[in-house]
Chains A and B, each alone.
Chain A
Amino acid sequence: MTTTAPAAVTAPLPEDDEEQRPTRKRRGAWKDSAAAWAMLSPNLLVFGLFLLLPLLATFWLSLYSSSGFGPREFIGFENYSELFGDDTFWRATLNTGVYALLTVPVSLVLGLGVALAINRPMRGRGLLRGIYYVPYVISGVVIAVAGRWVFNENVGVVNRLLRGAGLDGVPWQSDGVGAMASLVLISVWTKIGFCMVVYLAGLQSIPTEYLEAAQMDGAGRWTRLRHVIVPLLKPTTVFLVVLGVIESFQVFDIVYVLTGGGPGNATEMLVTYAYAEGFDARRQGYAATIGVVTYLLIAVLTALWWRRQKATEADQ
């Protein structure tokens, strides 16, 4: 059957067909192109309306002094110059970076650990997968409210248990390190399930021959993990790192409810700071500036990461 196709392609066409061919091709190409645009247009429309347009509007708003309603004043790049001299902004940037650095690797390692543990035939595997994944699909606000109950410094569950055991309570709310630790712990708990699911898919795509060959060569479990599984999961890891960093730079609900950015500015993140400036202080132009800079920061970080990955892959 397959031999007939090349014959059809290479067979000489009649003269009149030779003349008609470019016109037909053009018409066919135009039809294909029109169909493609027709199918793309709903997505493009949604992308334009709900992503591109707000993005441009945010940039435009960042050039104004505005409370969100009433008269606004064009001030050029004044918001940007104020932002770069704003200690709270730099503190929020640092906090966001620290939060990303702590939550992303820990979530990945624990997610991979859980995926490896349940990537084998065992009773209750589906249930376990569900239990780990549930926190990821619960609303962040609900998670944070539960977190307040667990990490309340005076009457919280953790400190009551610690005091019951004769230990000192941890200053989860009044100390910067304790507050950041409570955020990281809760965030990691919510993210493990997602990392686990993605890693499970990655693990199941690794050909068993590779692992069997390594085993026959005398590689133990740890060696197989380090030299076979982890390298083969690299695309999965890259995906999770990029997604994790982006999510970390967008964190809001958990911080807003659990610590409110405090104590002091110890857990103020870029998005919570933008919200505080936009809706508490009613400086929406300035809040838009924080949003634009956060967007650029994420874009640059993501581009650098992809470029590094491509370079590494090319070297290999």
Chain B
Amino acid sequence: MRNPDCSAVIDSRRSRGFSRRSFLAASGAGALALAGCGTGFELQRGDGTASREGRLSFTLWAGDAELTAFTTVAEEWSRTSGIPVVFNVVPFGEALTGIDAGLASSRAPDLFRVTYQDIGIYAAGDALLDLTDLLPSGFVDGFGPAFVSAVQSEGRVYGVPHHTDTSLVLYDTEALAGARIPESLDDAWTWEEFGSIARSLPTGEVQFAFGVNWQLAGAYRWLNWVDQLGGRLLTEDLTGPAIDSRAGRDALAFTQSFFADGLVPRTTSTKGAYVDELFTAGTIAMVFAGDFLLPTIDPAFLSAGREYGATFLPRDERASADLGGNAVVATSQSKNPEAAADFLAYLSGDEAQALFCAQATVLPTRTALLDQQLDYAVRPDLMELFVQQATTITPELSAQVTVPQFNAVNASMVDRLEQAFLSGDDPAGVLADLSDDIAGRLS
């Protein structure tokens, strides 16, 4: 005996023509259709990120001027080689995360842009193409020794030093009106003179003397101060910490005084906000800034009707500067190793590098270009000073900040310096803790 209610339900389902069976059939068809989309994923594999025969894929971060310069150079190389270069432009913060994912999934690009501080870990992880025998003979000798040191690991070359940048002290002309402005590296401010000038500037709740650019993983720039006193972060064989020294303690005590004396905003510690905006806003009268910031700073001052100048970094026993800028490397997964090496040689050759540096307002690494007047797009008068300051980047300091474990060491420096600057902890204790961290990171 059938339940009339049930039969009514069944009938109504039939009348709609959609039974459980048909639902399952439709689901199966849908699954097959989705499986068919596999070809779509295949198509995406070659969308500019992974290495593929017959072209070079290049992952990089770049501002507008930089990208234009990269494109110009790549087009010229492609005309002679017949091999296209496909750019994959990503934000700076995501670039290396994407590269790591590509390497882990065997879908890395042929080429990528990398900071000097990051090369070591990729070289140690066998992720980079060994260019030693692929670059033209003697080509590497054309770079400054500090830059060669930065792209080498255990005597092998893993990239080309594409450009560098370093810091100078930019100052508001009106605020520094009565102060002596050094005009050569040899008569740069001593630490005492710099401190004296900074203390003479008006400070208040929203007005400070200066800001230092050690934020955004830039804690390694603090090492300039240590280097100026002849100190080191790592031992000469680069296997242990050497920062807990007289030079380290003196450098830390001096830089701590910036915060203790209210000369810099407390928000500009190593975990704080970047400082160039405070300079353009008039919150600080001087800023330690890289040359690559001139295209941002210059229009802000122009539009406000203000003027600014630049002078060399303060010095103590000797002058020193931070190793900024980027290299370009090829990955060991590249399907076009010879073409990649050829492109890298072209990209970092004298002619292409001169063009790139002039357009992007960055400094050359080729020794042949150091004495040349490049046609810089922004403030060429100040760029000459940056070029001079870059000559104080030492191979010894470069070697220390490019060890494979430097990311981890730098992360410890960020934490320990932040603590020291904001809490005013005893320099000896801070550096002892930092030494323990470094020993652990290096091991």
Tell me whether B266 and A276 are in contact (CB under 8 A).
Answer: no
Total interface residues on B, using CB and 8 Å? Answer: 44
> Which of B63-71, B122-130, B156-164, B296-304 lies at the interface?
B122-130
The smallest beta-carbon distance between A277 and chain B, in angstroms, is 8
Q: How would residues 164 to 197 of chain A score, 1 for a CB under 8 Å from any chain B CB and 0 otherwise?
A: 0000110101100000000000000000000000
The smallest beta-carbon distance between A20 and chain B, in angstroms, is 17
The listed residue with most B CB atoms (<10 A of its CB), out of A4, A152, A168, A262, is A262
Q: How would residues 134 to 178 of chain A score, 1 for a CB under 8 Å from any chain B CB and 0 otherwise?
A: 000000000000001000111100000001000011010110000
The docked-state distance in angstroms from the alpha carbon of A263 to that of B417 is 11
With A7-B1, A174-B266 known to touch, is A263 a contact of B418 (CB < 8 Å)?
Answer: yes
Could you tell me which residues of chain A, from 272 to 291, have a CB within 8 Å of some CB in chain B? 276-277, 279-283
The smallest beta-carbon distance between A150 and chain B, in angstroms, is 14
Contacts of A265 in B (CB 8 A): 415
A interface, by DSSP: helix, strand, loop or mixed? Answer: loop
Total interface residues on A, using CB and 8 Å? Answer: 41
B369 adjacent to chain A (CB < 8 Å)? no
The docked-state distance in angstroms from the alpha carbon of A277 to that of B278 is 29
With A8-B3, A70-B125 known to touch, is A262 a contact of B408 (CB < 8 Å)?
Answer: no
Contacts of B62 in A (CB 8 A): none
A294 adjacent to chain B (CB < 8 Å)? no
The docked-state distance in angstroms from the alpha carbon of A153 to that of B267 is 7
Q: How would residues 1 to 33 of chain A score, 1 for a CB under 8 Å from any chain B CB and 0 otherwise?
A: 110110110010000000000000000000000
The docked-state distance in angstroms from the alpha carbon of A163 to that of B207 is 13
The smallest beta-carbon distance between A287 and chain B, in angstroms, is 11
Specify the chain A residue showing the minimal Cβ separation from B30: A42
Tell me whether B407 and A69 are in contact (CB under 8 A).
Answer: no
Contacts of A7 in B (CB 8 A): 1
With A38-B24, A262-B271 known to touch, is A69 a contact of B265 (CB < 8 Å)?
Answer: no
Return the contact of A69 from the options B127, B269, B273, B414 (Cβ within 8 A).
Answer: B127
Q: How would residues 284 to 321 of chain B score, 1 for a CB under 8 Å from any chain A CB and 0 otherwise?
A: 00000000000000000000000000000000000000
Q: How would residues 401 to 418 of chain B score, 1 for a CB under 8 Å from any chain A CB and 0 otherwise?
A: 000000110111011001
The docked-state distance in angstroms from the alpha carbon of A281 to that of B413 is 11
B97 adjacent to chain A (CB < 8 Å)? yes
Tell me whether B3 and A4 are in contact (CB under 8 A).
Answer: yes
B88 adjacent to chain A (CB < 8 Å)? no
The docked-state distance in angstroms from the alpha carbon of A38 to that of B205 is 67
The docked-state distance in angstroms from the alpha carbon of A96 to that of B396 is 41
Tell me whether B206 and A163 are in contact (CB under 8 A).
Answer: yes
Return the contact of B205 from the options A70, A168, A262, A283 (Cβ within 8 A).
Answer: A168
Tell me whether A262 and B125 are in contact (CB under 8 A).
Answer: no
The docked-state distance in angstroms from the alpha carbon of A276 to that of B267 is 20
With A173-B267, A264-B422 known to touch, is A70 a contact of B127 (CB < 8 Å)?
Answer: yes
Contacts of A279 in B (CB 8 A): 96-97, 100
Specify the chain B residue showing the minimal Cβ separation from A45: B31
Tell me whether A282 and B267 are in contact (CB under 8 A).
Answer: no
Tell me whether B422 and A281 are in contact (CB under 8 A).
Answer: no
Contacts of A71 in B (CB 8 A): 125-126
25 contacts between A and B (CB under 8 A): A1-B5, A4-B3, A5-B5, A11-B1, A68-B103, A69-B104, A69-B125, A69-B127, A152-B273, A154-B206, A155-B281, A163-B205, A171-B266, A173-B273, A174-B266, A174-B422, A260-B271, A262-B269, A262-B272, A263-B272, A263-B422, A265-B415, A280-B407, A280-B414, A281-B407
Show the binding face of B for A, using Cβ within 8 Å.
Answer: 1-5, 20, 24, 27, 96-97, 100, 103-104, 121-122, 124-127, 205-206, 217, 265-267, 269, 271-273, 278, 281, 283, 407-408, 410-412, 414-415, 418-419, 422-423, 441
